[in-house]
Amino acid sequence: MGIAVSVQHVVKDFPGLRALDGVSLDIAEGEFFGLLGPNGAGKTTLISCLAGLARPTSGQLTVLGRDVQADYRATRRCLGVVPQELVFDPFFTVRETLRFQSGYYGIVSNDDWIDEILTQLDLTDKADTNMRRLSGGMKRRVLVAQALVHRPPVIILDEPTAGVDVELRQTLWRFIRRLNREGHTVVLTTHYLEEAQTLCSRIAMLKQGRIVALDSTRNLLARFAGRTLSFRLEEGGRLPEALAGRAVLNDGLWSMRLTGIDELEPILSGLRTAGCRIEDMQLTQTDLEDVFIGLMHEEAPHLPESVP
């Protein structure tokens, strides 16, 4: 299995900001890879560098062995990028848009594949509709179709389901999973961590332009194995100092990771002793969101890099 995407020691500086700080990772051909991180972590900047839309300050990026800067045209043909922003030409229908997109890559007589994409993304009945008359969700589907129209071996999805309905998510992932099974490499950024946990075999997490975790989804979940106790205190309630050091507050909800069920009673006893009254409480098995929150709150959470 070869390397589809290689990022080596990439730094990207903007005035007053280092967006990427020595990022290195390899993504194998045929892999479904997740790139996660909070807003401002550098995910979109990294994608822009891969797509040739931004030039790194230093470092090297390659796609299927071709240098992104030295061989831009060849690497761009290998990539299908779905951006976050809804960018479209308001003067053309959906089918015309996809035909023009095919032409940019020198592809003619592409209607059979265009019809296939339209069917898979439930766009057939909108094929002759002007782009400006589509809803936001339908425009998002067309962006995905544009990225796939030249059959790229590497597909990059930057928040593809942000703000869209459940139906589109299911339709999109069904099609993308099929392409992945057929050998396409998929790189996904998303804030829907349950999507990443379900779809991605390996994940990199970025924080302030640096990779703080790079491993298989299974290993990341195993690192934080256990249960999570989440609870909300009555207004004005304060967590006792003995517990505050191991708890994370997010939107009024306290979360504590437990290594064993035997930890539960001492915690509840400590809350009762401190006079805390619990409004709501739940005990859940560790998921990727727990891993994400835990890593984002660690001061030096670097993990050994895994090989693809």
Domain ranges of the chain: 3-221, 226-285
Strands laid side by side in the 253-258 sheet: 247-250, 253-258, 227-233, 278-285
Residues 6+ apart with CB under 8 A from 298: 212
- Predicted structure pTM score: 0.79
Choose the CATH number for 3-221 among 3.40.50.300, 3.20.20.70, 3.50.50.60, 3.40.50.150. 3.40.50.300
Place of tokens 């990341």: 220
DSSP letter string, 220-263: HHHHT-SEEEEEEEPTT----HHHHTTEEEETTEEEEEESSGGG
Going residue by residue through the chain, which has 308 residues, state the pLDDT in tens, using 9 for 90 and above.
799 999 999 999 999 999 999 999 999 999 999 999 998 999 999 999 999 999 999 999 999 999 999 999 999 999 999 988 887 788 899 999 999 999 988 898 899 999 999 999 999 999 999 998 998 888 888 999 999 999 999 999 998 887 777 887 888 899 999 999 999 999 999 888 889 999 999 999 999 999 999 999 988 887 776 788 899 998 877 888 888 888 888 888 898 888 778 888 999 998 888 888 899 999 887 788 878 887 887 654 444 445 56
Burial class for 233, CB neighbours closer than 10 Å (0-12, 13-18, 19+): buried
Contact present, 270 and 242 (Cβ < 8 Å): yes
| CA neighbor of 217 nearest in space, from 302, 301, 299, 286 | 286
| CA distance linking residue 168 with residue 258, whole number of Å | 36
* Beta strand 253-258 pairing with 227-233: antiparallel
Q: How far is CA 258 from CA 31, 124, 179, 244, in A?
A: 32, 50, 39, 14
Strands laid side by side in the 3-14 sheet: 17-28, 3-14, 58-63, 66-67
3-221 and 226-285 agree in CATH topology: no
| CA distance linking residue 308 with residue 299, whole number of Å | 26
Strand partners, 281: 231
For domain 226-285, give the fold: Alpha-Beta Plaits (3.30.70)
| CA distance linking residue 257 with residue 236, whole number of Å | 23
